[in-house]
Chain A
Amino acid sequence: MLILSRKPGESIVIDGRITVKIIRLEGDMVKLGIEAPREVPVHRQEVYDEIQANNREALTDPLSKVPKLPPSSNPMSNQRLGTSESGHLQMKSASIGHSKNGLNGK
């Protein structure tokens, strides 16, 4: 592992296109500013590791037995995916109702 010493306000550049800047120190926290092209995902390591491990465990044979939701949590008798009235996708500035008609191949 390459180890570099940097002061707040200083940066490193990776591959000519990714810049990691030390914004400031707050006690035992370091604030980093990262500039990367859109095709380069940047994640907190522990969150990435947790979701990656979950994905790996979830990958299965498509013939596996599928759970059955209890009727109370499945108001979908004549509707498709994603019609829960209270479910919503939150956004930074607005909160909008989860819309009707899910993706399905019908």
Chain B
Amino acid sequence: MELVELEKPVIKGHNLIQLPYGLLGFETVKNYLLITNPQEEPFQWLQMMEGPKKAFLVVSPFLVQPHYAPDIAQEDMDFLELESAADAIVLNICTVRPGEPATINLKGPLIVNRHTYIAKQCIPENASQLSTRHPIPVS
């Protein structure tokens, strides 16, 4: 696999995010681009680099639910080499449905190591209290 300097954008405005386990249901797709379009912030796109040019809309969950507190298992912290939460970026997948409020999945956050850009879709230990379809307030 081609090595890239992870601290720098691969393409201007884009970051390569590696998900060694893939996303649940998309386990074979391990490389994504995180695409930032200024007019769409704070939302970003997590676009598959393999297979169809499809993408997930992601956003910091703390902007939607300020009290969000996923309890990340120690083995996930170890896998991602996170010593503290300050090493992590949290992004959650949003679903936009025509004619319905957009929702955010609080049950399966993507935890990204901000230094290595390696990520995992973690299932928090308090997942039973978290919704996969939490409504996103819109203006």
Q: B-facing mask of A44-82, CB < 8 A → 1, else 0? A: 000110111111111111101111111101111000111
How many A-B contacts at CB < 8 Å in the complex?
198
Q: In the complex the two chains form, what is the Cα distance from A41 to B21 in whole Å?
A: 8
Q: In the complex the two chains form, what is the Cα distance from A87 to B42 in whole Å?
A: 15
A residues within 8 A CB of B77?
91
A residues within 8 A CB of B41?
76, 80
Q: Is the CB of B72 within 8 A of A73?
A: no
B residues within 8 A CB of A74?
42, 63
Q: Nearest chain-A residue to B66 (Cβ)?
A: A86
Q: In the complex the two chains form, what is the Cα distance from A87 to B66 in whole Å?
A: 5
Q: Is the CB of A102 within 8 A of B60?
A: yes
Q: Is A17 an interface residue (CB 8 A)?
A: no
Q: In the complex the two chains form, what is the Cα distance from A95 to B13 in whole Å?
A: 31
Q: Is A31 an interface residue (CB 8 A)?
A: no
Q: Is the CB of B132 within 8 A of A61?
A: no
Q: Is the CB of B108 within 8 A of A82?
A: no
B residues within 8 A CB of A82?
60, 62, 89-90
Q: Is the CB of B89 within 8 A of A103?
A: yes
> Quick one: which of B25, B62, B63, B114 contacts A55, CB cutoff 8 A?
B25
Q: Nearest chain-B residue to A62 (Cβ)?
A: B55
Q: In the complex the two chains form, what is the Cα distance from A72 to B9 in whole Å?
A: 30
Q: State the A residues within 8 Å of B (CB).
A: 38-39, 41, 43, 47-48, 50-62, 64-71, 73-76, 80-82, 84, 86-92, 94-99, 101-106
The 10 A-B residue pairs with the shortest CB-CB distance in the complex, in nearest-first order? A87-B62, A84-B62, A89-B85, A52-B25, A62-B55, A99-B86, A70-B139, A96-B85, A51-B108, A105-B9
* 7 pairs from A and B in contact (CB 8 Å cutoff): A38-B75, A47-B123, A59-B54, A80-B41, A89-B90, A90-B85, A99-B88
